[in-house]
Amino acid sequence: MICIKRLAVGVLLLLVVSSVSQVYVQHSVGGEINPDTYQENCTSAVEDIDRIVLFMLKLGHMPSLAVSIVKKNEVVLAKMYGEAIEGSGIPPTKDTVYLAGSISKSITGTAVMQLWEQGMFDLDDDVNGYLPFSLRNPHFPEMSITFRMLLAHASSLANVQWRLFLYFSLLNHPVERLGDYLTPGNSFYRPSNWCDFSPGSGSYYSSVGYELLSILIKRLSGMSFVDYCRKYIFEPLKMNNSSFVLKDIEDAESADFYAWLLGIYVRLPHYENHNAAAGGLQTTAEDLSHFLIMHMNDGKYDGVRVLKEDTVRLMHSIHYDNIPIKDLKRDGRGYGLGWIVWPEDEFNLSTAMQGHFGNVPGGITSMTYRNATGVVLLSNQWLLARPVQLRAMRYLRNLFFDFGDSL
């Protein structure tokens, strides 16, 4: 019976989305659009899209959605749906703060590559030359783990997400104790923290690797990870409502965080994810659009260069293209440096897409671009690996890609 229901939902999704796949829209009811670039038309078609988006939110149990579409050097559309606080009738705005989840890894990757540009390390250096503890896979103690491996998820580190979140976010142990977490003989260590393949020979998505990168950023720059990102990424990109620290955004408007459990919305407390480098960013659709514009425009935003052109191309290139995938990746992706590249999408929703996704308690997010169109989607609900929710988010992303391509 469950399988039949899932099949029916999938068919319904396909029918609904295909009904507007050829709709091209240049005006948004209730949204914001650049009047100097685009003209008004197709109002009835926009209303159709609005209804479909609201249907998808209901299907995916997402209380709200903040959408931003970028083209070239500007945000061309900001569109908001639903309620930032479930049941309140209060809609989100382009400045509503959401949990970004693993999109944080792209911020971390950008910070690492800024330091690489300064000649502070080589991508293929053994990180043991820079860490305050030894990092070795106990199964392959003679093999080095490099910056490139950590950035591209090829270090042989596993991803026991609940344990990482418990130790270093809920219990708030300092990230420097990752040495105990990853080294046999210590109280935090578990054998499942490591994979059984050698570094560089397989790919396994790992948040632990990005927490290690935050330690490396601190030791290389002489600044805390949070302060470094604020000074060299958020400030030049005018990401004024973005931070890894909850107190920094207490005065900003924030969406409430929810999980959909047993058929109801369960409100989660506003919290600070201390796994900052891997998933702790809190940001807005507007701010995250600035970051995406920078990456889409070879490292520049509003005349300010944050990364060199060649560095951006390096980040957006797959670095371990011919190694087996060892985790549950099923969407054709390859890993750049703090970046995900999808040469093809098995769901035929988009091709040559790149960027990053996020899924964290209280947030489902997407920051991607395809050709000349970038799309930021922020919602305030926890995915919890529900297939229908995942499909709804994919269809929403594709819908707004098609929207943006038509502008």
Residue 117 Cα distances to 41, 112, 133, 170, 312, angstroms: 46, 9, 25, 35, 11
pLDDT at residue 258, as a whole number: 94
What does the pLDDT look like over 3-24, one tens digit per residue?
444 334 444 444 444 443 333 3
Average pLDDT over residues 59-83: 93
Beta-ladder partners of 129: none
Ranked by mean pLDDT, which of 40-44, 47-51, 188-192 comes out on top? 188-192
Residues of the chain with CATH 3.40.710.10: 2-101+225-405, 110-221
Three-class secondary structure of residue 33 per DSSP: strand
pLDDT at residue 32, as a whole number: 45
Question: CA–CA separation, 204 vs 368, rounded Å?
Answer: 21
Q: Is the pLDDT of residue 395 over 50?
A: yes
Q: Is the pLDDT of residue 350 over 90?
A: no
pLDDT at residue 165, as a whole number: 84
Question: Which of the four CATH numbers 1.10.10.1100, 3.50.50.60, 3.40.710.10, 3.40.50.1170 does domain 110-221 have?
Answer: 3.40.710.10
Asked if residue 270 lies in contact with residue 251, where contact means CB atoms within 8 angstroms, the answer is no
Return the minimum-mean-pLDDT range out of 14-18, 60-64, 299-303: 14-18
Q: Is the pLDDT of residue 341 over 90?
A: yes
Q: Which CATH superfamily groups domain 2-101+225-405?
A: DD-peptidase/beta-lactamase superfamily (3.40.710.10)
Asked if residue 389 lies in contact with residue 63, where contact means CB atoms within 8 angstroms, the answer is no
Average pLDDT over residues 251-261: 89
Q: Torsion over CA of 353, 359, 365 and 366, rounded to 10 degrees?
A: 0
pLDDT at residue 345, as a whole number: 54
Average pLDDT, the chain: 86
The token pair at 274 is 């201390």
Q: For residue 216, which of 160, 167, 175, 156 has the smallest C-alpha distance?
A: 175
Please tell me the pTM assigned to this model. 0.88
pLDDT at residue 391, as a whole number: 84
Residues 6+ apart with CB under 8 A from 166: none
Counting residues of the chain whose pLDDT is more than 70, the rounded percentage is: 85
> Which has the higher per-residue pLDDT, 299 or 174?
299
